[in-house]
């Protein structure tokens, strides 16, 4: 692992350890769970989970940018893997779909998140939901172990996305699939706008161009790659005006360039 990659991972691990130890209310009032980068109380990306069966409020740290389990086609008896499982939110939704005969595995590289998720699972009395500390670029799972992979606003934080999708392909059974929500860009963000967006939501910093992102997926051998949902992410004007020249804001808004939440699927 090179120095830059190690530094990025250390920053992410430290930040998400902090998030794991603070309340969901505090996370919701910050930006992508980033710990107070703005003061207006926006929840930048998180969709509401309350209508989904299996939802546990204590496991929802408001860190997502979509509802990947909703489009994952999870069936009773499936083995489901959640990458960057946090406090277990998507795992518990998935467990409702798999039923007691299925298996749900969460992997997260922040020890504090794993501990929080395990405590939530114990509270629910689930014996078929397990959480492991590990790097999603090197998954602690054997080949062809999983029916469905989900992930929510995590891969944009990973330096080597190709390695993650290669690992997803490796651990999926033939015919298995993934449903992933993530942040991408459409068009080149001017430096001023990118800086302001990163101040508002640190998880924007690793976002790639949409076509680049889809190209990485296809290069790992996935078929039927499809964007199921898109949602624009709007940086509040109050954040922009503090950090960006007025004429640059106007040009950005007229350019068609956007920060977008997507949910994408692919089949092995």
Q: Quote the pTM value.
A: 0.82
The dihedral built from the CA positions of residue 157, 162, 163 and 165, taken in this order, carries a sign that is: positive
CA trace torsion 64, 208, 187, 230 (10° rounding): -30
The answer as to whether 35 is a domain residue is yes
The answer to whether 56 and 88 are in contact (CB under 8 A) is yes
Q: Are strands 172-186 and 258-267 parallel, antiparallel or unpaired?
A: antiparallel
Please list, in sequence order, all residues whose beta carbon lies within 8 angstroms of the beta carbon of residue 127, skipping any fewer than 6 positions away: none
Is 248 a member of any domain?
no
Q: Which residue has the tokens 């920060």?
A: 259
**Assigned token pair, 149:** 């992979």
Q: What is the DSSP letter of 159?
A: S
Taken as a whole, the chain contains a residue count of 268
Let me know: does 203 contact 239? Beta carbons within 8 Å: no
Q: Are 90 and 113 in contact (CB under 8 A)?
A: no
Largest interatomic CA distance in the chain: 58
Task: Say which CATH number the domain at 49 has.
Answer: 3.40.50.150
For residue 142, give its domain range. 3-182+221-229+261-267
Looking at the 3D structure of the chain, how many domains does it have?
1
Residue 212: per-residue pLDDT: 96
Residue 115 in any domain: the answer is yes
Residue 202 maps to a domain: no
3-state DSSP: the chain helix, strand, coil percent, rounded to 5?
A: 40, 25, 35
pLDDT at 23: 53
Does 48 reside within a domain?
yes
Per-residue pLDDT of the chain (268 residues; tens, 9 = 90+): 544 555 545 554 555 445 544 555 554 444 444 433 443 333 445 566 656 667 666 666 667 788 999 999 999 999 999 999 998 999 999 999 999 999 999 999 889 889 999 999 999 999 999 999 999 999 999 999 999 999 998 998 888 999 999 999 999 999 999 999 999 999 888 788 777 776 566 667 678 999 999 999 999 999 999 999 999 887 777 777 887 888 888 887 878 888 899 999 999 9
Q: Any idea what DSSP says for residue 234? A: P
- Would you say residue 236 lies in a domain? no
Task: Using DSSP, state whether 139 is helix, strand or coil.
Answer: coil
CA 247, distance to chain mean position in Å, is: 33
Q: Is residue 212 in a domain?
A: no
Least Cα distance to 89 among 102, 76, 73, 70 occurs for 70
Whole-number Å distance between alpha carbons of 40 and 238: 9
In a domain, 209, yes or no: no
* β-pair type (129-133, 223-233): unpaired
């Amino acid at each position: 692992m090179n120095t830059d990659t190690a530094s990025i991972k250390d920053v992410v691990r430290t930040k998400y350890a902090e998030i794991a130890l603070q309340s969901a209310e505090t996370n919701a009032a910050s930006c992508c769970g980033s710990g107070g980068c703005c003061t207006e109380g926006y929840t930048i990306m998180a969709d509401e989970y309350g209508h989904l069966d299996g939802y546990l409020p204590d496991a929802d740290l408001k860190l997502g940018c979509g509802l990947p389990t909703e489009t994952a086609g999870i069936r009773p008896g499936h083995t489901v893997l959640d990458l960057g499982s946090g406090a277990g939110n998507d795992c518990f939704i998935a467990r409702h779909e798999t039923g007691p005969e299925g298996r749900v595995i969460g992997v997260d590289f922040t020890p504090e998140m794993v501990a929080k998720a395990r405590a939530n699972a114990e509270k629910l009395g689930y014996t078929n939901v397990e959480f492991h500390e590990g790097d999603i670029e090197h998954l602690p799972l054997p080949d062809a172990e999983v029916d469905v992979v989900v992930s929510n606003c995590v891969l944009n934080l990973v330096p080597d996305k190709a390695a993650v999708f290669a690992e997803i392909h490796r651990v999926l059974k033939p015919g298995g699939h993934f449903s992933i929500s993530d942040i991408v860009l459409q068009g080149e963000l001017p430096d001023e706008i990118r800086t302001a967006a990163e101040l508002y939501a640190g998880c924007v910093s690793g976002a790639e161009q949409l076509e680049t992102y889809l190209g990485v997926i296809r290069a790992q051998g996935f078929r039927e790659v499809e964007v199921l949902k898109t949602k624009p992410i709007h940086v509040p004007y109050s954040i922009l005006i503090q950090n960006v020249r007025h004429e640059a804001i106007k040009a950005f808004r007229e350019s068609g360039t956007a920060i977008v939440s997507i949910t994408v699927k692919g089949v092995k």
